[in-house]
């Protein structure tokens, strides 16, 4: 098969993991608002490494800086000092290669007849294209390809001067997974979609309120976690303090399971569950339901280390660092040519011969998307002397693309959408392969089979909790290709 021919390369640069989407951080009422936003974003950097930005306000002026790359690329000497004020919002962004432009970096700063405001958004709308067509037909001009600009236009066109009311009206027209922050001269507004697909937490540092994608950002800046923002909740923070309202009627909660399985930082608490603990529990469940005749347990670094520790503990097998990840391979890294790949250059991951040699390895990973990475790792282990490789995955087969903000592959690229488990095992060249079932996954959160669950498992079940409005629409106009 041609698809597989490409996989023959012993080394693949295309990491076939689901990509982290975006992270947002906002703070109101602290004289160090900008610096804290910077450090909060540093804690969220795992959610996006392609662009970053911060917008602040001192109550009468707004300030903004953004750029491509890591926070350390975007904020060097001096830029941070130029952003002043007691309130700020910030954003880190992942994007597909084609659209990683400075134009699409966030926060987006805008002005309407009523005011200036800035917006920073995490998530994906399922009716963005449909709304954009409506807006363009009414004469709206688009300068980016981001969903965020659709939300901004809806706010500008809401026809009311009160910003909170305009945001509420706009939020009722969009559908999908979203969690966004809006900053104006005198208020910070935060919002989470009615299903709770994308996470957002509320914290406090002295008198200041903070909202962020994950609780690890609160810990990092020394703030206390108050609670998760509720699905359908709109929070508004001003000089007068904190107010909360519902912008949408109560619906069944559908939090993203994949935040726990792969995305979120292990030290975050997402919707009440600690991520590391969930992963370790999934590893234990995996050991109980899908034992393997192995000598050692190895987790794929870094995301599967928790699950591997759980598996090892439950199976009483030793946990070993049989795979070492090179942490110095950044975006600017020069990739090896094909000729060198053929000589076996292996940069990201290395298998440790003296650990692996002669051993039956139980390899723990969190998911299989395209299958190419799994195959490469199995081969690495065998090359280092593993006699058997038993692959155990701490989630169910990933069969359907996410439409709510997680950019994985298209359906025809998802190996589990095309192949049975046995076929996958064969393709990734493992001695055995087991996944968790959706029920087992839910058991990791202490739900019994049949329980109603507050999670979106669409990527495992193909049952999407919303209509997919844009699905039927023609491809949008090709965006202008903009370099940095």
Site for its own copies in 1-40 (CB under 8 A): 32, 35-36, 38-39
Q: 366 labelled as ligand-binding? A: yes
Q: Where are the beta strands (DSSP E) in 278-393?
A: 296-299, 323-325, 349-351, 360-365, 388-393
Among 28, 75, 178, 464, binds its own copies (CB under 8 A): 75
Tell me how many residues contact its own copies (CB under 8 A): 114
The CB-side HSE value for 91 (13 A sphere, CA atoms) comes to 34
Active-site position among 18, 22, 150, 189: 22
Residue ranges in 79-98 that form contacts with its own copies under rule CB under 8 A: 79-80, 82-83
CB distance 201 to 225 below 8 Å: yes
- Smallest separation (angstroms) from its own copies to the CB of 168: 17
59 binds its own copies, rule: CB under 8 A:
no
Which CB atom, from 245 or from 477, has the smaller least distance to its own copies? 477
Q: Which stretch binds its own copies (CB under 8 A): 72-80, 361-369, 386-394, 465-473?
A: 72-80
Contact 214, 264 (CB under 8 A): yes
- 272 vs 449, beta carbon nearer its own copies: 272
Spatial contact of 455 and 442, defined as CB atoms under 8 Å apart? yes
Closest separation in Å from C-beta 389 to its own copies: 17
Residue from 204, 289, 346, 360 touching its own copies (CB under 8 A): that is 346
Residue 241, H or E segment: strand 241-246
Q: Which span sits near its own copies by CB under 8 A: 333-341, 385-393, 435-443, 461-469?
A: 333-341
* Contact pattern from residue 246 through residue 285 relative to its own copies, giving x for each residue in contact according to CB under 8 A and a dash for the rest: -------------------xxx-x----x-xx--x-----
Minimum CB distance to its own copies, residue 249 (Å): 27
Give the residue, chosen from 24, 27, 51, 71, that forms a contact with its own copies under the rule CB under 8 A. 71
In whole angstroms, how close is the CB of 433 to its own copies at the nearest point?
Answer: 25
Q: Do 408 and 369 touch, CB atoms closer than 8 A?
A: yes
Q: Does 42 bind its own copies (CB under 8 A)?
A: yes
112 binds its own copies (CB under 8 A): yes
Q: Across 420-469, where does the E strand assignment appear?
A: 432-435, 455-456
139 near its own copies, rule: CB under 8 A: yes
Minimum CB–partner distance for residue 135 and its own copies (Å):
8
Q: How far apart are CA 215 and CA 226, in angstroms?
A: 10
- Which of 1-9, 220-228, 359-367, 406-414 is the region at the interface with its own copies (rule: CB under 8 A)? 220-228
**Terminal C-alpha separation, the chain:** 38
- According to the annotation, is 402 in a ligand binding site? yes
457 vs 321: CA distance, rounded Å: 31
Q: Which of 8, 338, 343, 474 binds its own copies (CB under 8 A)?
A: 343
Minimum distance between the CB of residue 82 and its own copies, rounded to whole angstroms? 6
Which residue intervals of 260-342 are DSSP H helices? 275-289, 305-315, 338-342
Task: Tell me how far, at minimum, the Cβ of 136 lies from its own copies, in Å.
Answer: 3
Determine the Cα–Cα distance for residues 391 and 360; give it in Å rounded to an integer. 11
Q: Which of 152, 190, 292, 458 is in the footprint of its own copies by CB under 8 A?
A: 152
Active-site residue flag, 216:
no
**Other CB atoms within 10 Å distance of the CB of residue 93:** 27
Q: Are 217 and 199 in contact (CB under 8 A)?
A: no
Identify which range of 21-29, 59-67, 228-236, 370-378 contacts its own copies by CB under 8 A: 59-67
Nearest CA-CA partner of 438 in 261, 199, 177, 251: 261
Q: Please give the full DSSP string across 169-197, using - where no structure is assigned.
A: HHHTT--EEEEEEEEETTEEEEEE-TT--
Strand-pairing partners, residue 243, are 236
The rounded distance, in Å, linking the Cα atoms of 89 and 160 is: 23
Determine how many CB atoms are found less than 10 A away from the CB of residue 475: 6
321 binds its own copies (CB under 8 A): yes
What residues have CB less than 8 Å from 291, skipping those under 6 apart?
Answer: 315
Q: Is 178 in the site for its own copies (CB under 8 A)?
A: no
Pick from 131, 309, 424, 453 the residue near its own copies by CB under 8 A.
309
Q: Please report, in range form, the residues annotated as the binding site for Mg(2+).
A: 303, 365-366
Which amino acids are annotated catalytic?
22
């Amino acid at each position: 098969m041609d698809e597989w021919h490409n996989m023959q390369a012993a080394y693949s640069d295309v990491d076939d993991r689901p990509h982290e989407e975006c992270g947002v951080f906002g703070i109101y009422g602290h004289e160090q608002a900008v610096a804290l936003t910077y450090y909060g974003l540093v804690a969220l950097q795992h959610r996006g490494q392609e662009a970053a930005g911060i917008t602040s306000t001192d109550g009468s002026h707004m300030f903004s800086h953004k750029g491509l790359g890591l926070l350390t690329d975007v904020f060097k000497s001096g830029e941070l000092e130029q952003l002043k004020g007691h309130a700020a919002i910030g954003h880190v962004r992942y994007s597909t290669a084609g659209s990683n432009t400075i134009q699409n970096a966030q926060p987006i700063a805008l002005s309407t007849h009523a005011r200036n405001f800035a917006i920073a958004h995490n998530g994906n709308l399922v009716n963005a294209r449909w709304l954009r067509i409506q807006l363009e037909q009414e004469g709206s001009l688009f300068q980016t390809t981001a969903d965020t600009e659709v939300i901004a236009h809806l706010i500008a066109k809401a026809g009311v001067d009160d910003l909170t009311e305009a945001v509420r009206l706009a939020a009722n027209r969009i559908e999908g997974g979203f969690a966004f922050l809006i900053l104006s001269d005198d208020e910070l507004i935060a919002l989470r979609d009615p299903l709770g697909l994308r996470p957002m937490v509320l914290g406090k540092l002295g008198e200041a309120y903070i909202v962020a994608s994950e609780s690890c950002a609160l810990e990092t800046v020394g703030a206390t976690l108050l609670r998760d923002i509720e699905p359908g909740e709109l929070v508004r923070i001003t000089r007068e303090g904190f107010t909360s309202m519902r912008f949408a009627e109560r619906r069944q909660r559908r939090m993203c399971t994949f935040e726990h399985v792969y995305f979120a930082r292990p030290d975050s608490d997402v919707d009440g569950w600690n991520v590391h603990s969930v992963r370790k529990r999934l590893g234990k469940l995996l050991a109980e339901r899908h034992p393997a005749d192995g000598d050692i347990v190895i987790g794929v670094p870094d995301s599967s280390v928790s699950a591997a520790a759980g598996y090892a503990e439950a199976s009483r097998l030793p946990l070993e660092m049989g795979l070492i990840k090179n942490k110095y391979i950044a975006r600017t890294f020069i990739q090896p040519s094909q000729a060198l790949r053929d000589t076996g250059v292996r940069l990201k991951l290395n298998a440790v011969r003296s650990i692996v040699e002669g051993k039956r390895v139980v390899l723990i990973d969190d998911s299989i998307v395209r299958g190419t990475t799994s195959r490469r790792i199995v081969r690495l282990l065998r090359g280092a002397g593993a006699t058997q490789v038993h692959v155990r995955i701490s989630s169910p087969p990933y069969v359907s693309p996410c439409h709510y903000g997680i950019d994985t592959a298209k359906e025809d690229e998802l190996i589990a959408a095309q192949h049975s488990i046995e076929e996958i095992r064969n393709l990734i060249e493992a001695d055995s392969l087991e996944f968790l079932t959706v029920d087992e996954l839910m058991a990791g959160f202490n739900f019994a089979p049949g329980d109603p669950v507050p999670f979106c498992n669409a990527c495992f079940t193909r049952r999407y909790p919303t209509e997919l409005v844009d699905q039927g629409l023609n491809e949008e106009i090709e965006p202008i290709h903009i370099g940095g």
